[in-house]
Amino acid sequence: MEPEDVKEAVVFKRSGQPLQWGAQVVLLAGFGGMLGLMLFAGIDSLRALRQIQARNVQIRQTFLLRNRALEEIRSALYQSGTLTRDYLLERDAGRAETYRASLQQVREDMQASLVRYSRSLDASEEGPFQSLRSRIADYWKVLDPIFHWNAAAKLERSDAFLHQELFPRRNTTLEIADRIGEVNEQELNNGDEQLKAIFDRFRFRLGLMLAITLGVGCVLAIVTSGQILRLARDAELRYRQVVNARSELKELSARLVEAQEQERRAISRELHDEVGQSLSALLMELGNLGAVVPADAELRRHLESIRKLAESSVNVVRNMALLLRPSMLDDLGLVPALQWQAREISKRTGMAVTVDAENVADDLPEGHKTCIYRVVQEALHNCARHARARSVRIQVVQEGGRILLSVADDGQGFDSALVRGLGLLGMEERVTHLGGDFQVQSERGRGTRLQVEIPLVARAVEAMA
Amino acid sequence: MNSVRIVLADDHTVMRNGLRLLLERQPNLQVVAEASDGRQAVALTESINPDVVIMDIGMPNLNGIEATRQIVSQNPRAAVAILSMHADESYVIRALKAGARAYLLKDSAEADLLAAVRALTEGKSFFSPAISKILVEDYMRQLENRGVEDTYELLTNREREILQLLAEGKTNKEVANMLNLSLYTVETHRTHILQKLNLHSVPELILYAVRKRIIA
């Protein structure tokens, strides 16, 4: 890993671990607080609204109740005036008695109304109401004597009584009632004022609550956004690290494969050209020795035994060299190497392997040659060992700046959606490293078909450079 | 009888020394020059004009197959014998295509070299028995695996005769003279043979002949 990456990783660790607890507390407190405020504001609003409504209803009801009582008192006053006059002017004693009874009834009703009114009496009305009450009491007191009058007295005094006593008293009483009505209206207005005050308080509280909620929300939004951005940055950093690590791994594995290939080539060459050639020369010298030594049977036998040993060593060395890396790949090109490979596999396993090559140049780039050769080698190995194929067909076509390879067998196949062995991965890695495309199609009992497409663009780049 | 003049091309001195010893034990064979790489071999062959060139494949500067191609393109009658460590068919066909007339394995050089030089001086081809064996075995296996029918049965007697002569390294003209035919007739026969056997060149025809054990 590069030093810069190490630093990045440390920074990431430092910023990654401890901020988690603090952030959790802040987020929990913030969101909890905000939700609490909103809940409180909601409940408070409902409560205040209900209170306002109840107060409103109460004020209206009181007003209406008093108003009605006052109206009743007023109409009772009028009625009493009328009934008194009728009583005084009535000659018939029976009918006069009826008026008297009605008058008594009116008086009781008025008393009841007064009692009803007095129940919801307010401090500001105390004065006018007491004076109304005493006036009414006076009023009735004034009426009391007329029931003791005989017919002559009624006839003689009634007119004067009505105009000088009763009606003026009734009028002043009515005036007081009017004043109380005004006070009552004043009360209503006062109630409205009170309501307005309650409402204003409520509005202020609600506004304050909203402002606080909004403020907390803003802080929370800023904190959360910061946190999310930081997380996103961390995630991106980590993603970049993973991508880097992956590409480094790929590069490393490609380099390993390349190094292995070079090693194989070097050892193969060394075995073939040095060890093999020396053994061949040894064989030759043995022949020459045989021509000059005397025809002694014992000596001949030893020479022959040495020759056999050297011959088998040559074969071993040659086979080892070819298995490591066939010399055809470097000397003759891809197709001869593939054909050799096909023949070898055929010889070893009895599997029929055919190679069809079209327009494949002898001087393919080194990487491409090796890649295709190794892919085919691995594929043939799979065909022989796992697929138990009877025949394999290898096709290599070079066309339009790319190389197409397909290896198809008639073996038992496998589920290519599930199985991805190391061999396949290795092949895919080799191919993708050259910018190529690697595909395997297989089904149980349907054989396997491997398809590779590798662009030759790299070659053009090399040629220009 | 004039001695056969031979050029050796191999980058291994021990190998060259051994070969020289082997060849010069024969009274009529003479190693006139040695080359340690392909380029030198081409230059020496051009200036000395030997009867036979014995050529290794794996050599620095210019490999044996390319050197053979250049030598044969300068002198189509040059007799080049490839002497190689490589026992695979692909090297054999490549060597034949380059114009080599014999292919020997180094580990059997001691036994085969003299026979090869003799065959070349007689204008024939030669392959190490080990090579012939490999080629024949491969061919048999292919016949078995693919179930291909034996195309040799398709040839007429005259075509078989011409096939053998061509495989031995004779030119069309030589074949025409030997069989008292016109050059045109021989060429027509040759075309038919290649078609019937699904071959594309004389080197392939030589390989086929080896596989069928028509020639050694």
Q: Does A391 contact chain B (CB < 8 Å)?
A: yes
Q: Give span(s): CATH 1.20.120.1730, chain A.
A: 3-228
User: What do you get for the CA distance between the two ends of chain B, in Å?
Assistant: 26
B197 lies in the same domain as B115? no
pLDDT (tens digit per residue) in A321-363:
988 998 888 888 899 899 889 988 888 888 888 899 888 887 8
Query: Quick check: B134 and A346 in contact, CB under 8 A?
Result: no
Interchain proximity B18–A288, CB inside 8 Å? yes
Q: Looking at the structure, do residues B93 and B60 belong to the same domain, yes or no?
A: yes
Mean pLDDT of chain A: 83
Q: Is the pLDDT reported for residue A16 higher than 70?
A: no
Is A162's Cβ below 8 Å from some Cβ in B? no
What pLDDT does B64 receive? 92
Q: Is residue B140 part of a domain?
A: no
Strands of A25-121, DSSP E: none
Asked if residue B20 is part of any domain, the answer here is yes
- CB contact under 8 Å between B111 and A337, yes or no, is no
Of A284, A285, A291, the CB nearest to B25: A291
pLDDT of residue A266: 92
Question: Could you tell me the two tokens for B4?
Answer: 């056969």
What is the model's pLDDT at position A11?
Answer: 44
DSSP A394-425: EEEEEETTEEEEEEEE-S----TTT---HHHH
- CATH number of the domain at A3-228, please? 1.20.120.1730
Dihedral sign, CA of A252, A256, A259, A261? negative
Dihedral in degrees, nearest 10, Cα atoms B41, B46, B52, B56 = 20
By the CB < 8 Å criterion, does B213 face chain A? no
Closest-CA residue in chain B for A286?
B110
Q: How far apart are CA A175 and CA A6, in angstroms?
A: 100
Confidence class of residue B54 from pLDDT cuts 50, 70 and 90?
Answer: very high
Residue type present at position A372: I
Closest-CA distance, B14 to chain A, in angstroms, reads: 6
Give one word for B123, left, alpha or beta, with left for phi > 0 and alpha for psi -120 to 50. left
Average pLDDT over residues A215-244: 90
Indicate the number of domains in chain B. Answer: 2
Q: Which residues of B touch A272 (CB under 8 A)?
A: 58, 85
**pLDDT over threshold 60, residue A13:** no
Residues B154 and B198 reside in one and the same domain: yes
Give residue A357's pLDDT: 86
One domain for residues B181 and B124:
no
The domain that contains B179 carries what CATH number? 1.10.10.10
pLDDT of residue A361: 84
Q: Which of B22, B58, B107 sits opposite A311 (nearest CB)?
A: B107
pLDDT for B145 equals 64
Query: In this structure, what CATH number is given to the domain that contains residue B110?
Result: 3.40.50.2300
Residue A338 confidence (pLDDT): 92
pLDDT digits (tens, 9 = 90+) for A437-458: 998 888 887 888 999 999 987 5
Average pLDDT in the B99-103 region? 90
Q: What is the mean pLDDT of residues A178-204?
A: 86
Cα separation, B34 vs A1, whole angstroms: 56
Q: Of the candidates B89, B107, B110, which has its C-beta nearest A314's C-beta?
A: B107
- C-alpha span between A332 and A329 (Å, rounded): 6
Q: Are residues B159 and B121 in the same domain?
A: no
Longest Cα–Cα distance in chain A: 202
CB contact under 8 A, A352 and B138: no
CA angle A154, A160, A163 (to 5 degrees): 120
Work out the percent of chain A whose per-residue pLDDT is above 70: 92
* Interface mutation target, options A279, A332, A390, A394, chain B, most CBs of B under 10 Å: A332
Residue B2 DSSP label:
P
Of A286, A311, A328, the CB nearest to B88: A328
Domain limits for position B195? 149-211
Q: Which amino acid is at A202?
A: F
Asked casually if ipTM beats, i.e. exceeds, 0.85, the reply is: no
Mean pLDDT value across residues A155-183: 82
Helix or strand (DSSP H, E) at A455? strand A448-455
Q: Which residues pair with B61 in a beta bridge?
A: none
Nearest CB among A285, A339, A347 relative to B90 is that of: A339
Contact B141 A347 (CB under 8 A): yes
Would B137 be classed as within a structural domain? no
Does residue A263 surpass a pLDDT of 90? yes
Residues 6+ apart with CB under 8 A from A75: none
Query: Same structural domain for residues B118 and B153?
Result: no
Contact with chain A for residue B14, Cβ under 8 A: yes
Instruction: Let me know whether B71 and B101 are in one domain.
Output: yes
Nearest CA in chain B to A312: B107
Q: Looking at the structure, tell me whether residues B94 and B158 fall in a common domain.
A: no
Question: What is the chain B residue with the closest CA to A322?
Answer: B86
Q: Do residue B118 and residue B54 come from a single domain?
A: yes
For residue A402, the cross-strand partners are A399, A455
pLDDT tens digits for A39-66?
988 898 898 889 889 988 988 888 888 8
Instruction: Give the gap in angstroms from C-alpha A276 to the nearest C-alpha of chain B.
Output: 7
Residue ranges matching CATH 3.30.565.10 in chain A: 328-464
| Contact in structure between B158 and B189 (CB atoms under 8 Å) | yes
- Regarding whether B156 and B97 lie in a shared domain, the answer is no
Between these two residues, A23 and B155, which has the higher pLDDT value?
B155
Which segments within chain B are labelled E, that is strand? 4-9, 29-35, 52-55, 79-84, 102-105, 126-127
The reply to whether B190 falls in a domain is yes
User: Which position has the higher pLDDT, B53 or B124?
Assistant: B53
Sign of CA dihedral B97, B100, B106, B107: positive
Contacts of A278 in chain B (CB under 8 A): 12, 14
Residue B1, pLDDT score: 54
The mean-pLDDT minimum among A23-27, A96-100, B83-87 falls in A23-27
For residues B93-110, give the mean pLDDT.
Answer: 87
Instruction: Specify the pLDDT at position A38.
Output: 87
Superfamily (CATH) of domain A328-464? Histidine kinase-like ATPase, C-terminal domain (3.30.565.10)
Kindly state whether residues B86 and B121 are assigned to the same domain: yes
How many Cβ pairs within 8 Å bridge chains A and B? 93
Residue B139 within a domain: no
Q: Are A52 and A202 in contact (CB under 8 A)?
A: yes
In order, the DSSP letters of A267-296 are HHHIIIIIIIHHHHHHHHHHHHHHHHS---
Check residue B146 and give its pLDDT: 63
Alpha-carbon Rg for chain A in angstroms = 60
pLDDT digits (tens, 9 = 90+) for A93-152: 888 888 888 888 988 888 888 888 888 777 777 887 888 888 888 888 888 888 888 778
- With a CB-CB cutoff of 8 Å, which residues 81-120 of chain B face chain A? 85-91, 94, 106-107, 109-111
Q: Taking CA atoms, what residue in A is nearest to B12?
A: A277
> Under a CB-based contact definition with an 8 Å cutoff, are residues B12 and A281 in contact?
yes
Asked if residues B120 and B96 have their Cβ atoms less than 8 Å apart, the reply is no
Residues B72 and B116 in one domain: yes
